[in-house]
Structure 1
Amino acid sequence: MSEYPRLLHTVLDSTNPRELAEFYRQLLGLRYRPGDEPPTDGTADDRDWLVLTDSDGAAKLAFQLVDRLPRTTWPRHDVPMQLHLDFTVSNASELERQRARAEALGAELLFDRTDDPDEPLYVFADRSGHPFCIFVA
């Protein structure tokens, strides 16, 4: 028995869980939990909960349907971000490659701090408006 709870996964709210799950699946190279794959028979995709796993099957991110999701106004605090995800890359050229990938997948660039010699980074909003960072660490 463990002395501490174990983090299972991080859950992101979305008005379109499939679209957001697909964004992160492609961005991070994750896969759907068995049974959560998109329908291939033309039926409507009405799932209100989806899970993405790593290649070993460990849950990483989950997505749940909400009726509405006010988009954060970060860096203003009218609507705070409440949570964000951090992703790291090994060098500046990889940072630029991942910026292009994120934007091609529908991310919106919110902040560019690539001129910081100690920790260059980009802050993006995903397709549901959740902020996430990619930086060199």
Structure 2
Amino acid sequence: MTQYPVLSCTAIDAREPRALAEFYRVLLGLHYRPGDEAPPPPQADDTAWIVLLDDDDRRVLAVQGKPDLRPSTWPSEEVPMQLHMDFRVPDAAALETQRARAERLGARLLMDRSADPHEPLHVMGDPEGHPFCLLVG
């Protein structure tokens, strides 16, 4: 028995859980837990809890349905950021490559600190409005 709890995964709320799970699946190179794969069209998707796994089949991220979610308005505090994730890349070239990929997948740029000499980063908003950082480190 371990002395400390172990993080199982991070769960985030989404108005459209299937779409957000697919965004993070593609962005991070993850795969669905068996049974959580997208249903074939035109079947309706009413999945309210979708788990994404890494290459070792460890839980990394879960997305749960929350139809009344109010997206963060960060950097405004009108609707505060409740959580954000940081994703590390090896260098400035990878930072720009991953920013462009995230935007193609539906993210939007919220802040550009790519010229910061100490910690170059981009703050992005995922398709549901959750902020996340891409940073060199």
Distance 1:26 1:70 in 2: 24
Distance 2:67 2:27 in 1: 25
Deviation, 1:59, is: 0.2
Which consecutive unaligned segments of at least 5 residues does structure 2 have? none
Distance 2:91 2:67 in 1: 39
Q: Tell me which moved more, 69-78 or 86-95.
A: 69-78
Amino acid at match of 2:16: N
Deviation, 1:41, is: 5.5
Deviations 1:51-95 (A, max 9, x none): 000011000000111121111121121211010000000000000
Which consecutive unaligned segments of at least 5 residues does structure 1 have? none
Over 3 Å off, 4+ runs: none
Kindly indicate whether residue 30 of structure 2 is the aligned counterpart of residue 30 of structure 1. Answer: yes
Distance 1:30 1:67 in 2: 24
Is the CA contact 2:8–2:60 (under 8 Å) kept in the aligned structure 1? yes
2:47 alignment partner in structure 1? 47
Q: Tell me which moved more, 41-50 or 22-31.
A: 41-50
Deviation, 1:40, is: 2.1
Taking structure 1 as the reference length, what is the TM-score of the superposition?
0.97
Taking structure 2 as the reference length, what is the TM-score of the superposition?
0.97
Deviations 1:6-47 (A, max 9, x none): 100000000100000000000000000011000125311111
Root mean square deviation of aligned Cα: 0.9
1:59 alignment partner in structure 2? 59
Q: Tell me which moved more, 36-45 or 25-34.
A: 36-45
Distance 1:65 1:39 in 2: 16
How many percent of aligned residue pairs carry the same amino acid? Answer: 57
